[in-house]
Amino acid sequence: MSKKYVYFFGEGKAEGNTGMKNLLGGKGADLAEMTNLGIPVPPGFTITTEACIYYYQHKGKYPRGMKEEIDRNLKRLEKTMGAGFGDRYNPLLVSVRSGARVSMPGMMDTILNLGLNDETIKGLIKAMGHERFAWDAYRRLIQMFAHVVMGMESSEFEEIIEEKKKELGIRLDTEFKTPVLKDLVERFKKRVKKRTKKDFPQDPRRQLFMAIDAVFGSWNTQRAITYRNLNNLSHTWGTAANVQTMVFGNMGWDSGTGVAFTRDPATGEKKFFGEYLLNAQGEDVVAGIRTPKKISQLAREMPRVYRELVRIYKKLERHYRDIQDLEFTIQNKKLFLLQTRTGKRTAQAALKIAVDMVKEKLISRKEAILRVEPSQFDQLLHRRIDPKARIKVIAKGLAASPGAAVGEVVFTADHAQEEAEKGRKVVLVRNETSPEDIHGMAAAQGILTSRGGLTSHAAVVARGMGKCCVAGCEAIDVDYDRKRFVVGNIVVREGDYLSLNGNTGEVILGRVHTIEPTLSKEFQVLMKWADETRRLGVRTNADTPKDAKKAREFGAEGIGLTRTEHMFFGEKRLPIVREMILARDERTREKALKKLLPMQREDFRGIFKAMEGLPVTIRLLDPPLHEFLPKVEELLVEITTLKVKKGSKKKIAQKEKLLNKIEALREMNPMLGHRGCRLGVTTPEIYRMQAQAIFEAACELTKEGYKVIPEVMIPLVGHVNELKLTKEDVHRVADEVMKRKKMRINYSVGTMIELPRACITADEIAKEAEFFSFGTNDLTQTVFGFSRDDIEGKFLPAYLEKNVLDNNPFEVLDQKGVGELIEMAVKKGRRARKGLKIGICGEHGGEPESVKFCHRVGLDYVSCSPYRVPIARLAAAHAALKSKKVGK
C-alpha cells in the first residue's frame, strides 16, 4: 500500500497518544480536531510534513502519486462545497497555508483567494452578488501571490495603493470603489509582467501547485531559519501545507476577520482577549495595515456572532486545557474558525495561566510545572521603568509585550543587528514589522511600531521572545528615507536615545533609569511546586555579599563558586596585589600578602553572613598573575612618553622594572599556563593567605552565632599530586587558625574538574578530594581545543550557520564530548569515594538542556549566576518529571 500524503480535515487528530501533529503539522492536526469537535471550520485538506521533507530531499519534486491524491481531495472538496475549482460559473476559491509541528507565527507563507482569474471572477460576482468584494479579493490574490510565489516586494503594490489613495483623497483601503479596484487589478498585473517578465498565472490548478511549492519553500527562508535557531527548533521537520476553502471577511460591513486568545497572553488574566476588523481579510489584522478594534466591541456590533465565538473559545480551552490562539472569519454574519493553536504567552502569563488552571482543576501541578519553559524566566527578571524617574512621555501606544527597553533608535532590522553586534543597545522603530524583520527584533532591546494591534506580528513575536514592545502608536510618523520619526513638534532621529514601557505603552524621550522586577505570587507558588519535585540542588556563583543575597532571594541553596580573583581588582587592593607579584623574595611577598589578609577576611565574612547556614564553595586564586598587571602596550607608551618629555629617571626606572617583570610573566598560552593550582604549588604563600582569611572569617562568625559551612576548592587540578600538595597546606593553615581561635569548624576541601586528564584520572583524584565541581567553561575549551575569546568572534558563527555545531558549546553543554568525560569522571569518582558530592559551576549550570544532563548523570547540584537560579530550579524539576516519563 502506497504512503498517504494528503488527509482531508477530520481524518487526523491533534490530541492524545494518537495525535498527528508531527505528520499534519500543528495547524493541520488542530483543524482536523476542530472538525471532529463539530466546530464550524471551512473544509479542506492537509499535505503532510513528510511530503515537504521529500520535496527537499528530491530537489523540488513531489512523491509519486501525491498530485493524484491532491486531485482526489480537491474533487471531494468541490463536492462538499457544491462549487468547482476553476469553474467559471460557480468557482471554489482556496487558501494554502503553512503549518509546522510547532507554531512559528508569521515565519512561513500563506496565499489566499487561489482560483481567481479573469474568467472566474465573473462567476464569483454572480454567485456572491457582490462585485466590489470580488475585485478586492482578486487584487489581494495578485499582490500576495506575486510577493510570496513570484518573489516580488510587497511594497511595490503598496506604493500603487498609496498613490491611488492620495489621488482620491482617501485614507483606508475599504474606501475604494469597484472601478478603482478593477483599475488596481490591471495595474498589478502589468507590474507583475514588467518585474518578472511573466504573466500572472490564469490557470487555477497552476496557481495551486505554485502556491504549494512556495509554502514548502518558505520552510527554509532566512526568517524561518532564524526563528528556529532562536527557539532551538529542528531544521529537519518540514512544514505541512493546508488547502482550505476560502471564507470572506471582506464582503461588506456584515463580514470581518479577527484573532483572539482565550486568556490575556501578556498578563495571563482570565479574560477573552483579541481584535478584529470588519470588511477585511486575515492578513489585515496581523500585518497592522489598519488598527483593529477590541474583541469586546464585537458584542455590540454582532451580538449573536460574539456569543457563538465565546461558546467556541470556552469549548476549545476546556478541550485542549491550555490557552488557545484563534483565527476567525465572519462571512455575512456567519462565523468560521480558521485555526486554533496553543497561544504564545509571556513568562508572566505562562506562570499565571499554569497556576490558575491548577486551581480550576484543568491540569495537575506536574503539568503546570511543564507548561512553563525555564528559559522564559529570563523575561520575568527583566528590568522595568523606575516609577520615581522623571520621564518625558512623547506618545502612547498599545502595551503589547511587558518590560522596559532603553536604546538608540534604528529603523531597519539589518541596522539593529549590525549595532547590536558592536555591543550597542537599540530600539527598533517600524511602521509595522514583518517576518523579514525577525533578526533585527531579536537583536533589539525593544520594538516600537506605528501601526498594528495587540495581535500584530510585532506583538506576537515580541511576546514570544520576551522583548518589550509598544505597538500601534499612531501618534508617531515614521520617515524611513530621512531616518527619523516625528511626534507633534518633536523629531527623533536615528541614534537618539528612546525608552519604552511595555507595561503601559509609553514612548519616552531619552534614557530612563530602570529597576529590578518584582516577582508575582504565582512565581512563588510554581517555584514551591518545582522545589518539591526536583532532585538536583541549585546553588549560585557569587563573589560579593550583594550577589549572594540576591541569589538567596531567588532560592539558591548555597554558593557553588566564589571567584576570589575578582576581589583582587578593587581600587585599593590592586596596588597591593601588584606589590605581591613584583616582590623579589618570599619575605617581601608575604609582607604584601599580610596587607591583603584583612581585606580577604572581610570579603569572606560578608559572603558567609549572606549565606548563613548554607555551604559556600570558595575557589582559591585561579588566573595567571600577569592579569593583575598593566598591559605591555600601555606601559610601553607611558615609558616612551616619559622619555620624550624628559620625565623623572626614577619613575622611568620603576616603569621599566615593571615592564621586565610583565615580560617575564608573559606566556604564549596563558589559559594553559602558570595558573590555578600551579600557582599554589610554586607560590604556596598565596593560597596560605587565602586559607587563613577563610578560616579566620569562619571562626569569627561561628563565635558570633552564625552557622558557616566553608568548602575550599583547588582549581585546575590535572594530577592528583597537585591536589595532595595544596590540600596539605590548606589543612595545616585550618588547624593553626582553629587551634588559635580554640574552636572547630566543619569544612571540606575539593577540586574543580576542568581538564580532560582530571576526568580520566577522577578515581585517583577522588581519593584526595571531598567534592568535585565541574568547571565546564574551561573543560569545554580543553576538550574542543577552542580558545573561547577567539572563536566566538571568528569561526563559531560559521560553524553554527553551516551546522558543524548545533549550539554554541559554551552556552549549551556538548553532551557527546564534554558530557562523556563528565559522566566518566562521575562514575570513577564515586567508585573511589562513596557518596562523593559532585556539582557543576560553569555557565552551563543555568542552561535548561545542560541542567537536564546534570540530572541524568547523577550530579548533586548545579551552580549558576544569581539571575539564572530560578531557571535552574525549574529546569531541574522538568528534568525530574521527564526522566520519570522515560522510566515508565
Angle between helix 632-644 and helix 649-665 axes, rounded to 10 deg: 160
**Is 649 buried (19+), middle (13-18) or exposed (0-12) by CB count in 10 A?**
exposed
Which cell numbers in the block locate residue 805?
555545531
Q: What is the DSSP letter of 91?
A: B
Q: State yes or no: is 626 an active-site residue.
A: no
Q: For residue 483, which amino acid is it?
A: K
Q: Of all helices (H) and strands (E), which one includes residue 679?
A: helix 677-682
In whole angstroms, what is the distance from residue 459 CA to residue 400 CA? 5
Residue 4's closest CA among 87, 58, 70?
A: 70
Q: Of all helices (H) and strands (E), which one includes residue 261?
A: strand 256-261
Q: For residue 395, which amino acid is it?
A: A
Residue 142's closest CA among 92, 197, 208, 192?
A: 192
In whole angstroms, what is the distance from residue 458 CA to residue 286 CA? 9
In whole angstroms, what is the distance from residue 76 CA to residue 70 CA? 10
In whole angstroms, what is the distance from residue 24 CA to residue 52 CA? 11
Residue with cell 549590525: 418
Torsion angle defined by CA atoms of residues 586, 589, 594 and 597, in that order, rounded to the nearest 10 degrees? -110
DSSP-derived secondary structure for 796-811: HHHHHHTTSSSS-TTT
Which residues does residue 426 pair with via DSSP β-bridges, in sequence order?
Answer: 408
Q: Which of 841, 854, 855, 878 is catalytic?
A: 841
Q: What is the CA radius of gyration of the chain?
A: 32
Q: State yes or no: is 439 an active-site residue.
A: no
Task: Check if the beta carbon of residue 610 is closer than 8 Å to that of residue 548.
Answer: yes
DSSP-derived secondary structure for 700-736: HHHHTT---EEEEEE-S--SHHHHHHHHHHHHHHHHH
- Helix, strand, coil distribution of the chain in percent, nearest 5: 50, 15, 35
Which cell numbers in the block locate residue 670?
596563558
Q: Which of 147, 457, 844, 878 is catalytic?
A: 457
Instruction: Count, in order, helices (H) and strands (E) of the chain.
Output: 35, 31
Task: Check if the beta carbon of residue 562 is closer than 8 Å to that of residue 616.
Answer: yes
First to last CA, the chain: 34
CB-based contacts of 43, cutoff 8 Å, min separation 6? 8, 9, 35, 77, 80, 81, 244, 245
Q: Of all helices (H) and strands (E), which one includes residue 419?
A: helix 413-421
Strands 293-294 vs 273-278: parallel, antiparallel or unpaired: antiparallel
- Residues labelled as active-site residues: 457, 841
